[in-house]
Structure 1
Amino acid sequence: MAGLGFCTAFSSPRAPWLVSGANRGGVMPCKALRKRSVEIRAEVNFVNAEEAKKLIAEGYAVLDVRDKFQYDRAHINSCHHVPLFIENKDNDFGTIILRTVHNNFSGLFFGLPFTKPNPDFVQSVKSEFSPDSKLLLVCQGGLRSAAAAYKLENTGFQNISCITSGLQAVKPGTFDSVGSTELQNAGKAGLVTIQGKISAVLGTVLICAYLFITFFPDQAEKLLQMAPAS
Structure 2
Amino acid sequence: MAGIGSSCSSLSCNSNFRTSWLEFKTHRGRTIPGKSVVWRNSRIRAEVNFVNAEEAKKLIAVDGYAIVDVRDKSQFERAHIKSCYHVPLFIENQDNDFGTVIKRTVHNNFAGLLFGLLFTKPNPNFLQSVRSQFSPESKLLIVCQEGLRSAAAAKELEQAGFQNIACITSGLQSVTPGTFDSIGSTELQNAGKAGLVTVQGKISAVLGTVLVCAFLFVTFFPEQAEKLLQIFPAS
Matches within 5 A, 1:49-68: 49-58=53-62, 59-68=64-73
| Whole-angstrom CA distance in 1 between matches of 2:42 and 2:136 | 17
Q: Name the counterpart of 1:69.
A: 74
Aligned length: 186
If each structure's strand is expressed as a fraction of its own residues, which one has the higher value? 2
| Whole-angstrom CA distance in 1 between matches of 2:179 and 2:205 | 31
| Whole-angstrom CA distance in 1 between matches of 2:38 and 2:47 | 24
| Whole-angstrom CA distance in 2 between matches of 1:96 and 1:36 | 50
User: What is the CA-CA distance between 1:37 and the residue it aligns to?
Assistant: 4.9
Q: Measured at CA, do residues 160 and 201 of structure 1 come closer, stay the same or move farther in structure 2, by a change above 3 Å?
A: closer
Of the three residues 124, 129, 149, the one matched with 2:129 is 124
Matches within 5 A, 1:57-206: 57-58=61-62, 59-199=64-204
User: What is the CA-CA distance between 1:165 and the residue it aligns to?
Assistant: 0.4
Q: Which residue identity lines up with residue 198 of structure 1 in the other structure?
A: I
| Whole-angstrom CA distance in 2 between matches of 1:85 and 1:70 | 12
Q: Which residue identity lines up with residue 202 of structure 2 in the other structure?
A: K
Unmatched tracts of structure 1, length 5 or more: 1-15, 18-29, 221-230
Q: Measured at CA, do residues 62 and 33 of structure 1 come closer, stay the same or move farther in structure 2, by a change above 3 Å?
A: farther
Aligned CA-pair RMSD: 2.8
Q: Which runs of 4+ in 1 moved over 6 A?
A: 30-33, 201-205
Q: Measured at CA, do residues 132 and 200 of structure 1 come closer, stay the same or move farther in structure 2, by a change above 3 Å?
A: closer
User: What is the CA-CA distance between 1:41 and the residue it aligns to?
Assistant: 1.6
Q: Name the counterpart of 1:46.
A: 50
| Whole-angstrom CA distance in 1 between matches of 2:167 and 2:202 | 34
Q: Which residue identity lines up with residue 81 of structure 1 in the other structure?
A: H
Q: Deviations over 1:101-137 (max 9, x none)?
A: 0000000000000000001111110000000000000
